[in-house]
Amino acid sequence: MVLAGVALLVVPWMARNQAQAGTFTISTNLGVTLSGAYCDEVFRPGARYGGWSNDCALTGVLDPSLDARPPGPDRDLAVDRSGRDTARRFAEDHAGDLPGVAVARVQRLWSLGHNADQMRWDVFETGHAQLQRVGRYLHWLLLPFALVGVVVLPRERWRSWVLVALPAVTTTLSATVVYGSPRLRAVVEPTIALFAAAGMVWMWSRLARRPSLAAEMGALGEAATTETAPAGGEPAAEAGNRGQ
């Protein structure tokens, strides 16, 4: 059912591209995206590690032979193809670096690493430094509760949560292949909120059923008094004084 819905939305657009540009594709931006994600700047441990480089994106698709072509679908497809080829060659030449880069991309996606550089990049893209910081803090606040929600949800009801959890899985896989950025996490925010709500409700219910600390201390005190009292019920100190 889900795949059928996706096909219903995507296939007409791909058919239009086939009619207009002669290729059954979704977009011609993949080449630029990949060339900016597969280059020395983002594969080398440093500020842009696991991220995306605008400079790499430009140099990856700059083929002098393309300048002679008039603007239009043919040129767009050629630029896209050039960027994809550049990224593929770079990935093949640096296959040993891919695991580390993939980890860095996932860290950037979930704001679990490289936060200083990613914050500068996000502020550059949006121009709203304060909103970016508030969003980052809110994400860090909700994420632990969301993890609790994932753990405590009844296993027999997981089928009803598959569609809710699916965006988190697909977005993480996408970031692993392309690049990591919190803005790619936008589609996952409802998932985080729902699982965080489940975690909060579970934790609150556990706390509500738990006796107060004062009641626990009082019960412990009564138990200790009962254990130290003699069989006749008198406190131990008074029993000792009367024996003298």
Residues 209 and 155 in one domain: yes
* 88 and 139, same domain (yes or no): no
Q: Residues 2, 78: one domain? A: yes
Is 172 in contact with 109 (CB distance < 8 Å)?
yes
Q: How many domains does the chain have?
A: 2
One domain, residues 38 and 89: yes
| Same domain as 87, residue 1 | yes
Amino acid of residue 147: L
CA angle 55–61–67, rounded 5-degree value:
115
| Tens-digit pLDDT string for the chain (244 aa) | 667 777 787 777 677 666 766 666 777 778 889 999 999 999 999 889 999 998 888 776 666 666 666 666 777 788 888 888 889 999 999 999 999 999 999 999 999 999 888 888 888 877 788 888 999 999 999 999 999 998 888 766 777 788 888 899 999 999 999 999 998 999 999 999 999 999 999 999 888 876 654 555 565 566 656 655 555 544 444 444 444 4
114, part of any domain: no
Residue 212 domain-assigned? yes
Q: What is the DSSP letter of 154?
A: -
Q: Are residues 82 and 144 in the same domain?
A: no
CB 146 within 8 A of CB 199: yes
Does residue 208 belong to any structural domain of this protein? yes
* 110 part of a folded domain: no
Q: Is residue 244 part of a domain?
A: no
Boundaries of domain holding 57: 1-93
Instruction: Kindly report the pTM of this predicted structure.
Output: 0.74
Does residue 119 lie within any of the structural domains?
no
**Domain limit, last residue, from 66, 93, 120:** 93
Structural domain includes residue 233: no
Distance (Å, whole) CA 36 – CA 63: 15
Verify that 150 and 85 share a domain, yes or no: no
Please, what sign has the CA dihedral across residues 131, 134, 136, 138?
negative
For 147, the 3-state DSSP assignment is helix
**What is the maximum span of the chain, computed from C-alpha positions, in angstroms?**
116
Is the Cα dihedral 27, 179, 88, 82 positive or negative?
Answer: positive
Q: Which of 69, 93, 117 is the last residue of a domain?
A: 93
**Which alpha helices (DSSP H) does 25-128 contain, by range?**
30-37, 40-43, 54-61, 73-93, 98-109, 115-126
CB distance 191 to 143 below 8 Å: no
Distance between CA 228 and CA 239 in Å, rounded?
11
In this structure, the answer to whether residues 144 and 89 fall within a common structural domain is no
Is 121 part of any domain?
A: no
Q: Is 127 left (phi over 0), alpha (psi -120 to 50) or beta?
A: left
